Amino acid sequence: MKQNFTVRQGALDGVEAFLGVAEHRSFRKAAAELGVTPSAISQAIRTLEARVGAALFIRTTRSVGLTEAGVRFLSRAKPAFEELVAASTDARDLGQRPAGLLRLAAPRAVLPHLLELIASFSRAYPDVEVEIAASADLVDIAREGFDAGIRLGQFIEADMIAVRLTQPFPLAVVGSRDYLRRRQRLERIEDLRYHACLRVRRSNGAIAPWSFVNGNKAVEVIVSGPFIANDIPTTLAAAVAGLGLAQVPEPLAADAVKAGKLVSVLERFAPTAPGVFLYYPGNRQMMPKLRAFIDHVKSRAGSAAASKRHRVDPAARRQRN
C-alpha cells in the first residue's frame, strides 16, 4: 500500500533567533545582532515554541533564562546549526571559485592523451583536484556523481553539451607483420572472414561490430576471432602480440605503426569517427571548477589551431624564397 508523506515546512524557522537570545539572554541584543526588531524575534520564538510544544525561555521584565526544555534544545541545536552554517560556507566557496574535486569519467584508451592537458590545468588551477575514473563502460555521469565525461562523439547522449578534444580520425584495421605473413592477403572487406579478428565487448554485453565505408555506403561487419577484450588498449596490445587483426582509432595505433610493430590494412575502407569530446549536463548545473576546465580545454584547442595555421611547410617556404 502506498503511503503518503509530507515534507515538514519551516523545521529551522526561529532556530537562529533562539540561539541569539540564548547566547545574549536578551531579545533586544539578539534582534540587534540579526538586524531585525525585538518584536520580530519574539514572534519567531513564540512560533518555534509552538512547533516544539514546550516553552524554551523563562521571561521576566528584568531577565531571560532557559527552561529545562530550552537547555536541552540548545545543547543539540547549537552544534547542529553551526555545522549547517559551515556546510553552507563550504558549498558557497565551491560555487564562487574553481576549487574542490573535479571528477571525470574517461575510457582508458584516451588517458595518455589527457595527461598533458590535466597537467597544464592543474598548474593553472592548483585548488582543483582532478580525479579520472578509467572505464570502458558508457557511464551515466549524473547518476555516478561525475562532473563530466570523455567519450567518442557517436556515443554521447543528445541532451549533453559536448566540447571537442580531438579532430575526427579514421578507424584503422591493424595487425602485426608476423601475423600478416601467415595469413591470406587482405584486399576487400569480405576477406576478413579468413582472418582472426580481435573484438571488443561493450558495457551492455554486446560485441561491437567493425565499421567500414564502401564507396558512399556505411558497412557494419560481424567478425570472429580468438580474443575478446572490454577495452581498446588491451585489444591493441593483443594485435601487437600477433593474435590477430584489431580495429582501433588510428591515433592510438600510430606509434606502433611507426615503430613497425603493426601494419595498417584495408585503409581505403576506413570510416571516420567524429573524434573525442568532453561532455557534461546543461550550463545551469555548472560549478566554477568545471567551467574553468572547459575554458582551459577551449583555450588549448584554440592555441593548437592557431599554431597549426601559422606553421609553414618547409617546401612552401623554399618556393616563396
Q: What tens digit of pLDDT does each residue of 198-246 get?
A: 999 987 888 999 999 998 899 999 999 999 998 899 999 999 999 999 9
The closest of 239, 242, 235 to 208, measured between CA atoms, is 235
The closest of 190, 272, 256, 183 to 226, measured between CA atoms, is 183
Q: Looking at the domain covering 100-167+276-307, what would its CATH class be?
A: alpha beta
Task: Give me the amino acid identity at 147.
Answer: D
| HSE-CB for 136 with a 13 A CA cutoff | 17
Confirm if 172 and 264 have CB atoms less than 8 A apart: yes
Instruction: Tell me the pLDDT band of 134, cut-offs 50, 70 and 90.
Output: confident
pLDDT at 284: 62
Residues of the chain with CATH 3.40.190.290: 169-273
pLDDT tens digit string along 168-197?
999 999 999 999 998 888 999 999 999 999
Residues of the chain with CATH 3.40.190.10: 100-167+276-307
- Is 3's pLDDT higher than 60? no
- Average pLDDT of the chain is 85
Does the pTM surpass 0.95? The reply is: no
- Is 9's pLDDT higher than 70? no
Helix, strand, coil percentages for the chain (3-state, nearest 5): 45, 20, 30
DSSP bridge partners of 273: 169
Residue with more model confidence, 89 or 149: 149
pLDDT at 10: 57
Can you point out the beta strands (E) in the chain?
Answer: 57-59, 64-66, 100-106, 128-134, 148-152, 161-164, 169-175, 197-200, 210-214, 217-221, 228-229, 245-249, 263-265, 272-273, 276-280
Q: Which of 6-20, 47-61, 123-137 shows the lowest per-residue confidence on average (mean pLDDT)?
A: 6-20
Can you point out the beta strands (E) in 205-257?
Answer: 210-214, 217-221, 228-229, 245-249
Domain 15-96, second-level architecture = Orthogonal Bundle (1.10)
Q: Alpha-carbon distance 117 to 130, whole Å?
A: 11
Q: Alpha-carbon distance 103 to 116, whole Å?
A: 17
Task: Give me the amino acid identity at 261.
Answer: K
pLDDT at 313: 44
**CATH code for 169-273?**
3.40.190.290
Q: Which of 58-62, 63-67, 230-234 shows the lowest per-residue confidence on average (mean pLDDT)?
A: 58-62
- Is 4's pLDDT higher than 50? no
Q: Alpha-carbon distance 279 to 156, whole Å?
A: 7
Residues of the chain with CATH 1.10.10.10: 15-96
pLDDT at 302: 63
